[in-house]
A and B are shown apart, each in its own frame.
Chain A
Amino acid sequence: MSLLEISHIRKNFEGLEVLKDISLRVEQGQVVAIIGPSGSGKSTLLRCCTGLETADGGTISYTGSFGLVFQNFNLFPHYSVLKNIMDAPLRVQKRPKKEVREQAESLLGKMGLSEKADAYPYQLSGGQQQRVSIARALALNPQILFFDEPTSALDPELTGEILKVIKELAAEHMTMVIVTHEMNFARNVADYIVFMDQGVIAEEGTPKELFHSANPRMQEFLRKFEEM
């Protein structure tokens, strides 16, 4: 069953064509990684999918709800960790407090942050903040979880802890769409990789197909990563 179907999406920013006719399907349980050079439109695609930007053309259809994990976390600084996670389920979904609390505590446990429940975001490391923001997104029980470069604001040593969490979610068959710069991670975790370049999907397929692609742009992009 496909949870997300994007067809013929277009987006312009002041005359600049950022997305040119993008179509993509995401199936239940699939982990899709979107890679590509800066300015290729990957983040814009994600922002269109999540309604933070409105596409100029095309359609996006969902089955179920979605969550989004931001590059710079965007936790609510005036809420404790626990309240960051519990507030939306209580205020928006109007679920019973006891149930929400149990879920939040279990999510925190899963993220290895049980002892941080009463801390405030500024007291946490970037990696911990990002884990809280993943827990906050999961607390609403979304069908799809989007990640917008979830490790780009983190030190390399903190990147690992986020990738580990995403891997665990993949093992639980969480449907995820991840915009990332972590090539090895995309290769290891994603079922399907989309390579974007200059506003179009230049190449897509399984990691195996993609990393052995004959597409010259894809090869050039991969070479740059290997040089790093």
Chain B
Amino acid sequence: MALTPSLDNPRSPALLANNPRLLRHAGGADLPEGIQVTTLDAAVNWCRKYSLWPMPFATACCGIELMAVGASRFDIARFGAEVMRFSPRQCDLMIVAGRVVMKMLPVLQRIWLQMPEPKWCISMGACACTGGVFDTYAVVQGVDRFIPVDVYIPGCPPRPEQILRALMDMQDKIQRGGRLNGTALPEQILKEQLFEQSRSSPAARLLARQERGDEARFGYRLPGGSASLGANEL
């Protein structure tokens, strides 16, 4: 019997076996109890999302909160992500926790390139997301300008619960095949297009330019493009 995402409880074999409507989805195949049929992608993504190995790129106080998440009170092991490894070759989830200065950014990029595929990135805290209060010549104003970021965590520093929330969002994104909104359902595609539209509208670009800094005012060089970085990506 096939599993479709719209089922209420797709993992209950008893429910599937006793429901003739669900059996029709599987083409009428009669499977023994305890056997589920799914796509390989869904099964692999399910394995991946519950065995994330984080690479803690902790450069500031956010790293302390990250340690708290690993400790017993919050216990990131409940989500299968407790295996923090300090070699990027062994990790598939980079957590950038703290400010990144321009001397550190080549190191960050190199570590990101050293991580094997598939890999994901969480930008944790105000500094990693936007530079935070450190709007100076040496501090990178958001790591997403230079490496891809999947989930952002606001806060200075974020509460451990926020990190767990971000991890659950990350798991959701991984289960959906790498994109938070997925591409399967027409209404999700529509929602994605609406997001894209709203982010690329002139008003949104203006807002982003105001929020993302006023480098252009001083005639700074912007190799990554103008201050509306990110408007063309999901």
Check if A and B associate.
no
B residues with a Cβ closer than 8 A to A are: none
A residues with a Cβ closer than 8 A to B are: none
